[in-house]
Amino acid sequence: MTNNVSPIDIYLRAIAGKKAMNTVALDVRDLTSVADFFIICSARSGRQVKAVADHVRRHLKDQGVNTLSAEGISDGHWALLDYGDVIIHVFYVETRSFYDLEGLWSDARRIDVSAYFESDRNRETVEGKEMEDEDV
């Protein structure tokens, strides 16, 4: 791309707007036909999983990008937002560790997302290290 804008820029900006943690973007174009990119992020509580997913859906809808499918938002453990070429997974920390999608897709190229997140906020580990308290 000549303008240096990532094809997933709009999705990463939406996620960054609601304090999601430990965001990872995977380029899976060469590995599956299901999607081009997976974006995986964590939340500290079931309430925050729902808040992140709801925020992403609203933000993207305002940008003219509609969700094709959404699963698990009300459960608060794992929300899946399908945008066709991009699938966003919002996990409660312990649930993310259990499913280990990064391990499952370890052959995928990781995309640098550091420009979208404050360095300290996005360094939360999957194991669930405590972070400073902030409102969702």
Residue 24 pLDDT greater than 60, yes or no:
yes
Q: What pLDDT does 38 receive? A: 97
Percent of the chain with pLDDT over 90: 71
Judged against a pLDDT cut of 70, whether residue 129 lies above it is answered with no
The domain defined by 20-109 folds into Beta Polymerase; domain 2 (3.30.460)
User: How confident is the model over 80-96, as a mean pLDDT?
Assistant: 96
Give the per-residue pLDDT at 73. Answer: 92
- pLDDT tens readout for residues 30-83: 999 999 999 999 999 999 999 999 999 999 999 999 999 999 998 889 999 999
What pLDDT is stored for residue 54 in this prediction?
A: 96
Give the DSSP letter string of the chain: -TT---TTHHHHHHHHTTT-EEEEEEE-TTT-SS-SEEEEEEESSHHHHHHHHHHHHHHHHHTT---SEEESTTTSSEEEEE-SSEEEEEEEHHHHHHH-HHHHTTTSEEEP-GGGS-TTGGG--TT---------
Q: Please report the pLDDT score of residue 19 as a whole number.
A: 81
Q: What is the pLDDT of residue 4?
A: 55
Mean pLDDT, all residues of the chain: 85
pTM, two decimals, is: 0.82
Model confidence pLDDT, tens digit, residues 27-38: 999 999 999 999
- Looking at residue 118, its pLDDT comes to 63
